[in-house]
Structure 1
Amino acid sequence: MKKQFAFQKHRGPIGPAWLRWVLFAAAALCMGLAVTGAMQWISIGTLPGVLEWARDYPAHLAMTTLLWAVPLCVLGTLTGRLWLAALPVGAAGLLLALVDYFKNAINGTPLELADFGLARQAGNVAGLAGDLTPPEDFWLAAAGLLLCVLVLLLTRRLTALEGAARGRTCLLSLTLAGVLLTGTGTRTVGSWLGVDFYTRMDPAENHSLHGLTLSLWRDAFPQPKTPPEGYDENYMLEVLARIDQLTEAREEPEVRPNILFILSESFYDLTRLPVLQYEGDPLENFHALEAESVSGTFHSHYLGYGTGYLEIPMLYGLNALDLPPGTNICFQDGAVYERFDALAEQFTNSGDYNAEMLHAYDNTLYNRTVTYPLLGFNDLYFSDDIQQIGIDREDGAYGGFYMRDGYFFQGMLERMKA
């Protein structure tokens, strides 16, 4: 007797609804963990380093996993396919980690929330760094995430949500996303997991302790500062009155000297390095100027590449710690800059001084064409403008990618003569 069997492919969900819901949530968390691990892999550079970070800071790992799992759940319930939602979420994590890697390659500092103000000028910034190539760890991390997506694709019938379960999960995911998009909600969830959302940190320390995702999230939702005791409007009015008294008592100088304010990101006083010895002073002219004039040390909260972030604090007296985290100090409304008295304004407002700015690069970065007139500068000279002054040098304007120091300072001297 011959038996015949007929097989029919079952393409619908497998298992009871409650089990598929549990597997859906577990799969989203696992994919969130995979994105977290991939980003840390690109950032740290070694898998043992990632494991060490996860062991030392399990709360940071859990919070970051949750931050990536929530958008996965939202997109997964909206599309009905968790594996499909994992593609854009994983790509976003990889792209963010790659940008962070490139910024570290350019200047040795991690990606900060304030850097997103330069998004439109990313091409110019990258051009300054030359050839930027993704590291091998990036491709390995990307391959690992693709493997995770493939697993989600092959097991999609075990995580498929339908009907009311899908709708309720979508609503729950959107609610949790809304909670995490508020400062109060983020700090509440963070406190449950043991994550500190209160302490202001240096960007490098923040990045090292919390990882890229959580360091950006902490900057986006900071704990509001409590004003110090006695700090109010009356206190500030007293300070202003005292400043006016000191200003009125100041005697006007008989001679008004020319003032040069030079910022050089490549200059360093070599004699401050320990152990090194020199036959003669390698910076004789600089030290002579130091000795015969008012001199001292300016301290900046900024580190590495980001000349615009140095210029504004030097000329305004503000730095990143004076402003909310994530504030790009170069891209504020004009009314913000007008509230502060800049260094140049102290001279140009008197009518006896004219302030000019010379910069060896072009005018595309850091909003300088907007901020510098508000700082009190009358005229701006960028690389093209300096070359129109009529400087005659045999070695030309550029030495490689950058304008020669000799050419630049000759332009400055020509402007002083004019």
Structure 2
Amino acid sequence: MNTTGLSKSRLERMHHVLSGYIERKEMPGLVALVSHHDDVYVEVLGTLTFGDPAPMKRDTIFRIASITKPITAVAAMILVEECKIRLDDSIEPWLPELANRRVLKSISSDLDDTVPALRAITLRDLLTYRMGFGSVMAMPDTYPIQKLIREYRIGGDGPMLPSQAPGMDEWLQKLGSLPWLAQPGERWMYQVSGDVLGALIARVSGQSLGTFMRERIFDPLGMKDTAFHVPPEKIDRLPAFYFFNRQTNKLDVFDNVANSAWRSEPPSESGGGGLVSTIDDYFAFSRMMLKKGRHGRKQILSRATVELMTSDQLTPKQRTGSEIFFGTHSSWGLGMAVDIRRNEIFHTPGRFGWTGGFGTTAYTDPAEGMVGILFTQRMMDSPEPPKVFTDFWTLAYGAME
């Protein structure tokens, strides 16, 4: 493999450090990729499952969780470029379930202690995650709204298997019955905007989200293993998925292969986190974004659109309360994070991407001509990045010559 432009000795260091996570049994296996200009290095380590010799492979299919979000944003911007919908259009003609919003007077208010929304939600609100509703970053049952979020399986209240979600129409009706947590456009809130965005794409395009993505993104990019479920002929390429059980103080299976929730089509295709993919499929998507929308002779998006998507779209006030996600180094573009200052070796202003709660991280750095992707199947324990992510990014940037 050609690794000119990447230091051989530094890549050996990456191999040694990442191997330590497997040897210490912190995860059964992983796949990592670093691309610097035209040079690509892939590291495949460990096994698909603890206690099973079946090796991790380069074409292993991972549940990629929230790094679905940038793909969903690209799908939405394809519709914008076709003038099927505009950034500042109200979503209400397509999603009438979310019309005439009420907003809680405060996060701790009872559910009927509300004021009217000042305006309708727009596509821009969804892409910037400022629709006015999202994850409540507090212990369960701290606030009255949390009970219904959990009961209605809205999402944004901890990890959920795709088979546990209601169908799209039922989900929208339940979401529409809840008061909002903030005024539209007021502040960034995690998760739910991505799922509403997926529903909007389906309604505007007249296709399921998965079909639209396949025709407009996956097939043109050759992303043959990316979908919302794993078909029977590919199921042996799906690894087990683990979480750290604080009661037993050990790793337990969250989703196994034999009866995986990803074996069949989900009731609702989650634009916020439902896709499965491989390292090479996601690299094809990342490289398209690095090349400003181009893939060979195909133009998935215009250069201007990619530049808009990957530029900071939030004010400091809109980020307030989301420091656990952004720290002081990051903000949000359209459907993905954007680094705005350098706190770490790997925080380059303009670097964009995101992480997934199921143990995935993928960022693209235009200034360095670099893409980095790490896929594991160990659930993140908190919104702060696990050590394996931090180590991977430190090693990846350290390997560039």
TM-score range, shorter chain: under 0.3
Could you say which structure has the larger radius of gyration?
1
Instruction: Write 1 or 2 for the structure with the bigger share of helix.
Output: 1
TM-score (norm 1): 0.22
| TM-score w.r.t. length of structure 2 | 0.23
